[in-house]
Amino acid sequence: MLLENKVAIVTGAASGIGEASARRFAREGAMVVVADIRHAKAEAVAQAIRDEQGEAVAVEVDVADAASVEAMVNAAVAQYGRLDVLFNNAGTLRPGTAVELSVADWDFVMAVNVRSVFLGAKFAVPHMVAQGGGSIINTASISGLHGDGGAICYAASKAAVINLTRALSTDHGPQGVRVNAICPGTIETPPVKRMMAEPVVLERNVNAHALRRLGRPEEIAAAALWLASDESSFVSGEAIVVDGGLRAQSPLGVLADPRPASKRA
């Protein structure tokens, strides 16, 4: 019960990493606000939590809209009296190079992926400070740590999330608010499954990870749980990579075969 008596908001909680995190937080004792722009799906997740004897409410939110985010935070405090954890998990992707990507798509991705983190902190931090502290977690990506091809805005937005995390932790650490980011590798969420529908694409992505598999949403939820809990009480301003060894591998592969020549194919 790492989050017993804590109140947590999870955005993008209707599916994937957000759903897994909301359900894990509830199993660890948190009162969870399941926030998503898809209200019916958010309510289904909240009901599933309640069916497991957990405590949850669903809130519809547009994370790129200031009034909507403020209303989400106020709803959490009105319902449960406090706010201990904010998991800014909602995100989106539009593929394209600088030449191909429309200006509208650039603005949309930046709003959903970056402005949402700013807005979440803007409205959550005062409540956390008033009660003595809290934990903010942001979903970044390994795409924010290197340049992926064909997704210029996604990579730029996730790099912005990482440094925004550092800046927020610097500003609000003295007030007792910890801010960290998680940088997942390729995780088996519904959008990723659609992207990996072609066997050759799936195989390439699997082999890019040292563990030779994709990650599961529950594995990112476990990292988020740790960052949300007091177990990570001296961790702030970090971008924690959870990628199955993807970034650890050299693109050169195996430089030398350790087997004797007679054993090599």
Helices 217-228 and 16-27, interaxial angle, to 10°? 50
Give, as one character, the DSSP assignment of residue 115. Answer: I
Rounded Cα–Cα distance for residues 204 and 66 (Å)? 39
Q: Which residue has the tokens 């909301």?
A: 22
Rounded Cα–Cα distance for residues 236 and 135 (Å)? 9
Q: Which residues are catalytic?
A: 154
Long-range residue pairs from 167-174, CB within 8 A, at least 24 positions apart, any chain: 168/117, 168/121, 168/136, 169/236, 169/237, 170/237, 172/121, 172/125, 172/128, 172/129, 173/236, 173/237
Check the CA dihedral 191-192-193-196 and report its sign. Answer: positive
Q: What is the identity of the amino acid at 135?
A: S
Check the CA dihedral 68-71-72-73 and report its sign. Answer: positive
Q: What is the identity of the amino acid at 95?
A: P
Bridging pattern class, strands 177-184 and 134-139:
parallel
CA angle 182, 1, 82 (to 5 degrees): 75
